[in-house]
Amino acid sequence: MLTKLILAIMPKLPQSFIWKFSKKYIVGKTLDKALEVSKSMNDDGYIITIDLLGEFIKDRSEAEQTKEDYLEIVEALHKHNIKGGISVKPTFFGLLIDEELCFTNIREVVRKANEYNIFVRIDMEDSSCTDRELEIYEKLHVEFPGIVGIVLQAYLHRTYDDIERLQKIHTTENPINIRLCKGIYIEDKSIAYQSYEDINNNFIKLLDKLFEIRAYVGIATHDKNLVKAAYELLEKHEVSKSLYEFQMLYGVETRLRKRIHNQGHLMKVYLPFGKDWFGYCVRRLQENPNMVSDIIKSIFK
């Protein structure tokens, strides 16, 4: 009841109030702040991926701006010698306006990143984008070996088939690079698992398959049960350290993050930043009402 009420009034609440709990998960509003946090993460032994907040734009000029902003981020990562890369959302580059425009824009960013050997992850958005985002990845994976990766979502029924599809571009010299996560969007039960158990079982099945084919895997979860299962699969497949990393979102389950890092595994932290933090937080909360508990906690703190 309280959750529903908070979700309904959220867009009307003052931004300063929303910022109070959002700042735990958003590194800041400016690139300078994102670089500062990146450096301190690197100093603590983590690698990073920077995400400029924004998605589902409606205007071609916004897509152009996204490209320019990401080119600036790539230059800055290089200049400041940051260990890590960037994550991009194709709808922020105009996927829903013009697929060709989106591809050209992302390709330009990847070309620049490739000059500096900076890794680019294509985030996965809702299921209406899955095929198109896989196609973008397939093309860039072949053109820029070792520089680009994609995300697969364990809640989708189709994902095992998507791995088989991606095996066509997978080689030992240029392995496919997959971030495996549960998936954050609300999807219909006809195409997506809904329960915790079903999603986790599929996550483990997919991870098993990815390790078996020697893909590079970013194990993106804060779920202790999945981390434990991942450890078992790493041992089962004797996965080399050069073929996997763990990944977590900034501000989430930091104790678990430290533990995994201290146990000798590479850990990449996802750092969202940007002036669109408000819209991003409201959308995420509407998609994932479980996170409202954080707001409630912050109200009573």
Ligand X SMILES: Cc1cc2nc3c(=O)[nH]c(=O)nc-3n(C[C@H](O)[C@H](O)[C@H](O)COP(=O)(O)OP(=O)(O)OC[C@H]3O[C@@H](n4cnc5c(N)ncnc54)[C@H](O)[C@@H]3O)c2cc1C
Under rule CB under 6 A, which residues in 96-125 are in contact with ligand X? 123-124
CA pair distance 290, 137, nearest whole angstrom: 31
Among 184, 204, 213, 282, binds ligand X (CB under 6 A): 184
Among 182, 187, 239, 271, binds ligand X (CB under 6 A): 182
1 is known to lie in a ligand binding site: no
Q: Which is nearer to ligand X, 140 or 151 (CB)?
A: 151
Stretch that binds ligand X, among 103-111, 128-136, 187-195, 249-257 (CB under 6 A): 249-257
Q: Does 248 bind ligand X (CB under 6 A)?
A: yes
Q: Which is nearer to ligand X, 79 or 297 (CB)?
A: 297
Q: Where are the alpha helices (DSSP H) in 11-126?
A: 15-22, 31-43, 60-79, 99-115
Instruction: Please give, one letter per residue, the 3-state secondary structure of 127-156.
Output: CCCHHHHHHHHHHHHHHCCCCEEEEEECCE
Stretch that binds ligand X, among 67-75, 137-145, 234-242, 248-256 (CB under 6 A): 248-256
- Count of positions on this chain that bind ligand X (CB under 6 A): 23
Q: Does 252 bind ligand X (CB under 6 A)?
A: yes
Q: Does 134 bind ligand X (CB under 6 A)?
A: no
What tokens does 221 get?
């979860």
CA pair distance 269, 257, nearest whole angstrom: 9
Quick note: the x/- pattern for ligand X over 14-43, rule CB under 6 A, is -----------x------------------
Among 253, 258, 283, 298, binds ligand X (CB under 6 A): 253
On the 0-12 / 13-18 / 19+ scale of CB atoms within 10 A, 286 is: middle
283 is known to lie in a ligand binding site: yes
49 is known to lie in a ligand binding site: no
To the nearest 10°, the Cα dihedral for 135, 230, 147, 184?
50
Q: Which is nearer to ligand X, 75 or 282 (CB)?
A: 282
153 is known to lie in a ligand binding site: yes
Stretch that binds ligand X, among 56-64, 76-84, 162-170, 175-183 (CB under 6 A): 175-183
Torsion sign (Cα): 41, 45, 46, 48: positive
Q: Which of 245, 267, 250 is nearest to 258 (CA)?
A: 267
Stretch that binds ligand X, among 77-85, 106-114, 217-225, 258-266 (CB under 6 A): 217-225
CA pair distance 301, 286, nearest whole angstrom: 22
Contacts of 229 (CB under 8 A, 6+ apart): 200, 203, 204, 207
To the nearest 10°, the Cα dihedral for 75, 80, 81, 84?
-70
Q: Which of 196, 261, 229 is nearest to 47 (CA)?
A: 261
What residues are designated binding site for FAD? 124, 153, 221-222
Which positions touch ligand X (CB under 6 A)? Answer: 25, 123-124, 151, 153, 179, 181-185, 220-223, 226, 247-249, 252-253, 270, 291
